[in-house]
Amino acid sequence: MTEKNLLDAFTALRVEVLDQIAEGTKVATRWQLTATQTSEFFGVPSQGRTATLPFAMGQCTDRYLRTPDGWKIASRACGPFFLRGNPA
């Protein structure tokens, strides 16, 4: 899914942070996205419905690269991870 696909098919997008926990340099966030589908999205026709989807971010995978100055983060992959059901 790309941002363009999402923005083309949905209107009235709203992101709400539900919980956020930080410890040192690590942060975990539970959030939800609410939007109304107004056009086709990956072959699914619009019925004009509004949906709320819960997500979580915080688990990241770092890929390191050794440089002359030491180890550096070359890339980082982080969620978001879709949560099924109500995580509350």
Instruction: Report the candidate in 6, 14, 15, 2 with the shortest Cα–Cα distance to residue 38.
Output: 6
Residues 6+ apart with CB under 8 A from 2: none
pLDDT in tens, 16-59: 998 888 877 777 888 888 999 999 988 889 999 998 888 777 65
Specify the residue for token string 């709320």: 52
Average pLDDT, the chain: 78
CA distance 88 to 24: 24
CATH of span 3-82: 3.10.450.50
**Would you say the pTM of this structure is higher than 0.85?**
no
Q: What's the chain's Rg over C-alpha atoms?
A: 17
